[in-house]
Amino acid sequence: MQDFPISPIGDRVKTTNMGQLKYSGLYTDFYELTMAQGYFFEKKAHQRVVFDYFFRRVPFKGGYVIFAGLQDLLEELVSFTYDEEAIAFLSSQGFKQEFLDYLRQFRFSGTIYGCKEGEVIFPNEPILRVEASIIEAQLIETLVLNYLNFQSLIASKTARIVHAAGERPVSDFGLRRAQGLGGPQASRAAFIGGVNSSSNTLAGSMYNIPVNGTMAHSWVQSFASELEAFQAYATQYPESSVLLVDTYNTLKSGIPNAIKAAKQLKRKGKSLKAIRLDSGDLAYLSKKARKMLDDEGLNEVSIIASNQLNEYVVQSLLVQHAPIDAFGVGTEMITGRPAAALDGVYKLVQMDEHPVIKRSDNLEKITLPGQKQVFRYTDDQGLFYADAIALVHEDEAPLEMQHPTNFAKQCNLSDYLAEPLHHLLMDGGTIVHERVSLGDIVAYSKKRLSQLPAEHKRLDNPHVYKVGLSESLKTLRDEMLDKAAH
């Protein structure tokens, strides 16, 4: 079974151009605005700075993160402005008139470099580099973190579930459990992570995601009998019927009635697409269902499983050889359970032409100063081996990298092919990279994930991917730390 069964009408929905909810420059934390006003009156409004976006830990005790949310972010930055309604609100909060006049003219005019959306990324390496005036860079901080942290979290959770499912399709059933108005973005991220369809109709329209739907228990309950409910549904949607068989009793009534409805369809030259199991022991019930269907000559009818699935449940079902053909996953995937958030951060690394550093007693929380590039190294089979973080002025990809915290460890990279991961995305506030369809982002992410060795994709105890520093970057960091200590 190559595709998740698209049930009534979903396969005929025509999508619109990508769109999204638009917010004003108020989509920021209040302290960003108080700092911005402070910069303004301290005559620092035009000071040039560089901020890095990165994350410190992989969620889910996993081995990688899928970078998502970039295109939505860039498009939102173009419309990040302050209209009169926003100005009136800020005035009511005590902001000064001169600063409010500045905000009336505000447009983000900075430059952004970063990884392609869908890239496989790892802790402590800069994913996005923002070069702008200090007020511009500060005001967009919350937006950057909100969009990238959320979508990258959901895409990464989804990739784990899809990996566990192997070749079996996975559909997003999560809108009703999603985080409020973040539902469409969550479905977009899930699509980047590998689902092949979604129940989220709005996301289908906004992002050109294939939409689907089966039926709810209420449909079955609304008829005088379960068989009538199945027959009516099959009559309405003879090309795409998926019957939910656990409203009353899965084995004693649900599957036998589905078989009757399937045979009636067959006599009309049609086929029942699938049955859906949404409760109970899914491994046991799927095996029983498969035998009952096959005994009646209905080998073509697929079995879909749903109900609080995650990567571990899916893995367990397949280890038990459950004959499940597709999975519908909701809550666990669309909320990124059990991780509440990706811990992405946005840190100042340069002011004017001078690198800056944030110190910490915890080595992992010391920032990397200056403008940087990330190089990815692949072996002769095209598999990822390591990433090295270097300063942008270094002429070539480093042939050796240093461990970020263990000063005795080095890694020779001379036998590997290097590629830069940062690309120019926005220049002077204008999006300059070629617009990429969501389908192309999905294909890119799938390709990149296929290049990640299997030991990094294990659900349990994945191998830690190598990320190191060039000698020049390590020297700069150490010299700045030493100077700060004195």
Residue 415 maps to a domain: yes
Q: Compute the distance between CA of residue 302 and CA of residue 322 in angstroms, rounded to an integer.
A: 12
Q: Compute the distance between CA of residue 366 and CA of residue 331 in angstroms, rounded to an integer.
A: 35
The model's pLDDT over 424-465, given as tens digits with 9 standing for 90+, comes to 999 999 999 888 899 999 999 999 999 999 999 999 999 999
Residue 329 maps to a domain: no
- Residue 396: exposed, middle, or buried by beta-carbon count in 10 A (0-12, 13-18, 19+)? exposed
pLDDT exceeding 70 applies to what percent of the chain?
95
Q: Compute the distance between CA of residue 416 and CA of residue 386 in angstroms, rounded to an integer.
A: 9
Residue 50 maps to a domain: no
pLDDT exceeding 90 applies to what percent of the chain?
89
The model's pLDDT over 333-390, given as tens digits with 9 standing for 90+, comes to 999 999 999 999 999 999 999 999 998 877 778 899 999 999 999 999 999 999 999 9
Residue 486: pLDDT over 80: no
Instruction: Tell me the pLDDT band of 289, cut-offs 50, 70 and 90.
Output: very high
Question: Which residue do the tokens 């930055």 mark?
Answer: 77
pTM comes to: 0.94
Residue 122 maps to a domain: no
Residue 401 maps to a domain: yes
**pLDDT reported for residue 1:** 47
The model's pLDDT over 50-72, given as tens digits with 9 standing for 90+, comes to 999 999 999 999 999 999 999 99
Q: Please state the φ and ψ torsions of residue 322, each to the nearest 5 degrees.
A: -65, 130
Residue 181 maps to a domain: no
The model's pLDDT over 69-113, given as tens digits with 9 standing for 90+, comes to 999 999 999 999 999 999 999 999 999 999 999 999 999 999 999
State the helix-helix crossing angle for 183-193 and 141-165, rounded to 10 degrees: 50
* Average pLDDT value for the chain: 93
Helix or strand run (H / E) with residue 450: helix 438-450
Q: Compute the distance between CA of residue 117 and CA of residue 427 in angstroms, rounded to an integer.
A: 17
What mean pLDDT is predicted for residues 163-187?
94
Residue 19: pLDDT over 70: no
> What is the CA 456 to chain-centroid distance, rounded?
18
**pLDDT reported for residue 364:** 75
What mean pLDDT is predicted for residues 279-299?
98
Residue 287 maps to a domain: no
**pLDDT reported for residue 353:** 93
Residue 13: pLDDT over 50: no
Q: Count up the domains in the chain and report the number.
A: 1
**pLDDT reported for residue 23:** 63
Contact between 193 and 448 (Cβ < 8 Å): no
Residue 118: pLDDT over 50: yes
Residue 407 maps to a domain: yes
User: Where in the sequence is the domain holding 401, given as residue range(s)?
Assistant: 371-421+465-486
Instruction: Tell me the pLDDT band of 3, cut-offs 50, 70 and 90.
Output: low
Instruction: Tell me the pLDDT band of 4, cut-offs 50, 70 and 90.
Output: low
The model's pLDDT over 229-249, given as tens digits with 9 standing for 90+, comes to 999 999 999 999 999 999 999
What mean pLDDT is predicted for residues 273-299?
98
